[in-house]
Homo-oligomer: A and B are copies of this chain.
Amino acid sequence: MLKDKTTVLKFGGSSVANADCIKQVCEIAVRESENANLVIVVSAMGKATDSLVKLAKEFNPLPEGRELDMLLSTGEQVTVSLVAMCLHQMGFKAISLVASQAGFITERAHNRARIAQIKTDRIEKHLNLGEIVIVAGFQGITEDGEITTLGRGGSDTSAVAIAAALKAERCDIYTDVDGVYTTDPRIIPEARRLDLISYEEMLELASLGAKVLHPRSVELAKKYNINLRVRSTFKPDDLGTRVVKLSEVRNMELTQAVTGVAIDDKQAKLGFMGVPDKPGIACKIFDRLAKENVSIDVILQSIPRDGVIDIAFTVQQDYLQKAVRIAEELALEVGADKIVFDENIAKVSIVGAGMLNKPGIAAEMFSSLYNAGINIQMITTSEIKISCIIKIEESHKAVKAIHDQFNLAYSKEEIIV
């Protein structure tokens, strides 16, 4: 390589939405290329992917996965060529590469392909020529030349995978927000931007609907220990939030127990009521749902009363209709009295690596909700997360109560002072 380190920058749809945005992206790229071999990964412009999906539906309500990938992959191909043209115009050497050219090999699974390997020869060849390499995110190619896509938010994953393959010293995810916040600042104006967060916390937040980073990209960054950064295209001097190893967070900060509060209002609840309390029922239900590709999130099984139990769970709202159909088919088989469902729910979660060693965090969360007059319908916990299902109308109030309870508007240092 020309320089002794390589940097990968990823720019999302809002960062490349129009000519002015793309020029801004190129300014950032040029500056970064002074110190490192530079690879840029870009998404489709603005809402281009949504428009293409809408276009497809004019022809076929359920387009074949292969053909949809053929269509959607054009979005990123447009962006890479425009970024290259813009860099050329600014007087810099640059080349655009689509997945087939970048050696971005995936399995053959359309619309949600997993990455098999990245053959970096060609990317490295161009870096060695001193060129800025612009790679189309989101897309891949199978060994036999079929175009695939990684699924929504896949460009983050593309960037991290390339950073891993090139052993890049850094992967910056540029977006339209300036980092990861303690909670959604549109809901809680006091939300504080975090300078540092662990992969594990980010993963929980990403999965919980924080929408800043795609969970797969965080998983991958964690696996390959990629120095990840979330920052704003429109505030290029701001360093944003660094996503690092848990041990690094612990060493560098007197961690607060709770790092952030996430909200997911795209969930729905579904329950099998009055099921006989005998072995194998839960297994039967969730096995069938899994076979039909319905992902389950929170599961709650009631304590038996009069020999019957209730089994409730949450699914993404998009899958509710399908889940209800399956549930109604299963109701007789498992001997349920009835099937109930409710879309008007939200999941509010606290995430924090500091929770691991601090008892009483859950109690503190529940009491803050109780004091705000909010009823908890379901609870689920992991090592670094506690989630409560509540009424959707109460979700903003809940986030505010929790955010206040844990003093998230202030960093640890500020609290100590």
- By a beta-carbon cutoff of 8 Å, the part of chain A in contact with chain B is 19, 22, 52, 55-56, 58-61, 63-64, 66-68, 70-71, 73-74, 77-78, 80-82, 84-86, 88-89, 95-96, 98, 100-101, 145-147
Contacts and interface: CB of A to CB of B under 8 A. Distances in A.
Contacts of A81: 56, 63, 67-68, 70-71
24 contacts: A19-B59, A52-B78, A55-B78, A55-B82, A59-B86, A59-B89, A60-B86, A63-B81, A64-B85, A64-B88, A66-B95, A67-B96, A68-B85, A70-B77, A70-B81, A70-B84, A70-B96, A70-B98, A71-B78, A71-B82, A71-B85, A73-B77, A74-B74, A77-B77
A63 B55 CA distance: 28
B58 A19 contact: yes
A134 to B, nearest CB: 10
Q: Which of A81, A101, A146 has the most CB of B within 10 A?
A: A81
Q: Which of A61, A78, A85, A96 has the most CB of B within 10 A?
A: A85
A284 to B, nearest CB: 35
Given A96-B67, A100-B145, A60 B74 contact: no
B74 A56 contact: no
A70 B74 contact: no
Contact residues of A: prevailing secondary structure: helix
Given A100-B100, A145-B100, A89 B60 contact: yes
Contact of A85 (B63, B78, B147): B63
A63 B80 CA distance: 13
Q: Which of A56, A84, A86, A98 has the most CB of B within 10 A?
A: A84
A86 B56 CA distance: 9
Given A56-B85, A59-B86, A67-B85, 9 more contacts: A59-B82, A63-B85, A67-B88, A70-B77, A70-B80, A70-B81, A70-B98, A74-B77, A100-B100
Contacts of A55: 78, 82
Interface pairs A-B: 8 shortest CB-CB: A71-B81, A74-B74, A60-B85, A70-B81, A60-B89, A59-B85, A59-B86, A63-B85
A73 B98 CA distance: 12
Q: Which of A59, A80, A101, A147 has the most CB of B within 10 A?
A: A59
Contacts of A101: 145-146
Contacts of A84: 64, 67, 70
Nearest to A122: B145
Nearest to A20: B58
A129 to B, nearest CB: 14
A22 B74 contact: no
A147 B84 CA distance: 15
A320 B348 CA distance: 68
A283 to B, nearest CB: 37
A78 B70 CA distance: 7
A95 B52 CA distance: 18
A56 B70 contact: no
A55 to B, nearest CB: 7
A106 to B, nearest CB: 16
A304 to B, nearest CB: 49
Q: Which of A63, A82, A88 has the most CB of B within 10 A?
A: A82
Nearest to A71: B81
A60 B86 CA distance: 6
Contacts of A77: 70-71, 73-74, 77
Contacts of A82: 55-56, 59, 71
Contacts of A100: 100, 145
A59 B22 contact: yes
Contacts of A98: 70, 147
Contacts of A60: 85-86, 88-89
A73 B80 CA distance: 13
